[in-house]
């Protein structure tokens, strides 16, 4: 989604996209974000890692597979970059730990600039591979032509670790999809009709305990018309196995990007959670959920439930653009829900501040201009709207 929005103003002959995901439209499957007009290249799996009986042998096998896969992927990327005559490589974290170092090795082989796009904390992304990631990260970042992070917390973390500087480009939102202003009538419908708490996006280990606490808080309020609507691609059965279930929970089919704005704007309350207990607490601190800009642009009251040392708790509290519950306390979460539903003035203030932050920090045009400036892309003159 972020890459789609950053590259959309570019001419399709100025970039290509390389991914382990096969984006061939003939393969079928849902297309939620839309397809860029540039070239797509699919990288097949490099090396299947077979399980072994002995622990030491399994670890050696995994390390061997990672090294083999890394160099093979770097070689494949380098071939694409050479054939397409690309002048730089931007490698992103997320999904696969090999993408960042493979992009770096390809850039060194071809002697082209390397840019590291750190969507999340690479060194703490996969608990089982942290030792390897922590060795690779300083080597890549200290030699990068540029580093991109989505927020201040990630920028400051990298500065403290390695003494490197990063450019903040927030995960952009197409605020033009949110020009419709939602009805300002009371969210609390006095028992008439359904009151919707809406969540859109992925649900995994970075969210589970926050969702369980939300469901418990809703039960405490004893409002039978209060429902949690979840729009996600994640399997419903897996979420129910994690305790995200019950009569107040409604699972919905995930919507295309063009439809999700209306879903968010028709909510009575938008939920933005991060787990208090997870396998990756360091990742939680610097996380900047991709949907943050969308929720702000929707101009509906936002309830943030995340640890006090996390970026989203700081951001929403500092800018007063959402109500923050930064304690793992079900009662306080229930009080926050009730306060939002019953206090019209609070809802108006939160919504107004949210729209201000969406326009100031998360607009696609601002992010595109920052991205173009960092990579010296000549798109500003061709698309004057980006200058804004």
pLDDT value of position 339: 97
Which runs of consecutive H residues, i.e. helices, occur in 198-343?
208-221, 236-241, 257-265, 281-286, 292-297, 311-319, 330-342
**Whole-number mean pLDDT of the chain?**
87
| Pairing verdict, β 195-200 and 167-168 | unpaired
The residue among 76, 100, 75, 73 whose CA lies nearest residue 89 is 100
Residue 212 has pLDDT above 50, yes or no: yes
The residue among 264, 252, 269 whose CA lies nearest residue 178 is 264
Other CB atoms within 10 Å distance of the CB of residue 5: 24
What one-character DSSP code corresponds to residue 290? T
How do residues 324-362 score in pLDDT, each as one tens digit?
A: 999 999 999 999 999 999 999 999 999 999 999 999 999
Range of lowest pLDDT (36-45, 172-181, 354-363): 172-181
The residue among 374, 387, 388 whose CA lies nearest residue 113 is 374
Pairwise CA distance, residues 386 & 306, whole Å: 33
Domain ranges within the chain, ordered by starting residue: 2-172+363-387, 175-361
How do residues 186-207 score in pLDDT, each as one tens digit?
A: 444 444 489 999 999 999 989 9
Residue 141 has pLDDT above 90, yes or no: yes
Pairwise CA distance, residues 3 & 23, whole Å: 14
Which runs of consecutive H residues, i.e. helices, occur in the chain?
2-7, 55-83, 99-110, 130-142, 152-162, 208-221, 236-241, 257-265, 281-286, 292-297, 311-319, 330-342, 344-361, 364-375
| For residues 369-383, average pLDDT | 73
How do residues 59-78 score in pLDDT, each as one tens digit?
A: 556 667 778 888 999 999 99
CATH superfamily of 175-361: Glycogen Phosphorylase B; (3.40.50.2000)
pLDDT value of position 123: 83
Residue 386 has pLDDT above 60, yes or no: no
Under 8 Å between Cβ of 179 and 196: no
The residue among 282, 326, 317, 277 whose CA lies nearest residue 160 is 282
* 227/380: higher pLDDT: 227
Token output for 238: 């897996």
- Asked if the domains 2-172+363-387 and 175-361 are classified in one and the same CATH topology, the answer is yes
User: Is domain 2-172+363-387 annotated with CATH 3.40.50.2000?
Assistant: yes
* 85/44: higher pLDDT: 85
Other CB atoms within 10 Å distance of the CB of residue 216: 15
| For residues 145-172, average pLDDT | 96
Residue 295 CB contacts under 8 Å (≥ 6 apart), including other chains: 264, 270, 272, 302, 322, 354
The residue among 299, 337, 345 whose CA lies nearest residue 321 is 299
């Amino acid at each position: 989604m972020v890459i789609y929005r950053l590259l959309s103003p570019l001419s399709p002959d100025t970039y290509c996209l390389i991914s382990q995901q096969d984006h061939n439209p003939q393969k079928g499957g849902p297309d939620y974000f839309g397809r860029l007009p540039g070239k797509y290249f699919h990288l097949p799996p490099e090396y299947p890692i077979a399980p072994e009986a002995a622990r030491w042998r399994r670890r050696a096998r995994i390390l061997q597979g990672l090294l083999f896969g890394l160099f093979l992927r770097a070689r494949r990327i380098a071939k694409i970059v050479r054939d397409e005559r690309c002048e730089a490589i931007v490698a992103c974290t997320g999904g696969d730990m090999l993408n960042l170092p493979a992009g770096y090795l390809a850039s060194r082989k071809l002697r082209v600039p390397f840019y590291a796009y750190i969507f999340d904390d690479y060194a703490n992304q996969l608990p089982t591979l942290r030792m390897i990631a922590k060795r690779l990260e300083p080597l890549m970042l200290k030699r990068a032509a540029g580093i991109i992070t989505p927020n201040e917390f990630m920028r400051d973390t990298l500065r403290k670790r390695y003494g490197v500087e990063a450019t903040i480009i927030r995960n952009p939102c197409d605020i033009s999809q949110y020009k419709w202003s939602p009805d300002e009538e009371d969210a609390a419908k006095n028992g008439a009709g359904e009151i919707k708490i809406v969540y859109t996006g992925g649900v995994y280990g970075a969210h589970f305990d926050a969702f369980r606490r939300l469901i418990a808080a809703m039960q405490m309020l004893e409002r039978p018309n209060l429902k949690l609507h979840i729009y996600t691609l994640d399997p419903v059965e897996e979420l129910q196995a994690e305790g995200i279930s019950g009569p107040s929970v409604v699972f919905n089919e995930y919507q295309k990007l063009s439809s999700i704005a209306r879903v968010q704007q028709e909510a009575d309350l938008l939920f933005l959670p991060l787990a208090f207990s997870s396998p990756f607490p360091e990742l939680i601190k610097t996380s900047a959920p991709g949907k943050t800009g969308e929720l702000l642009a929707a101009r509906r009251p936002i309830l943030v439930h995340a640890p006090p040392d996390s970026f989203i708790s700081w951001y929403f509290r500092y800018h007063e653009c959402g109500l923050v519950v930064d304690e793992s306390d079900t009662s306080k979460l229930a009080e926050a829900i009730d306060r939002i539903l019953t206090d019209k003035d609070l809802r108006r203030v939160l919504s107004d501040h949210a729209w201000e932050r969406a326009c100031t920090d998360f607009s696609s045009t601002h992010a595109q201009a920052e991205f173009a400036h960092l990579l010296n892309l000549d798109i500003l003159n061709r698309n004057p709207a980006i200058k804004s």
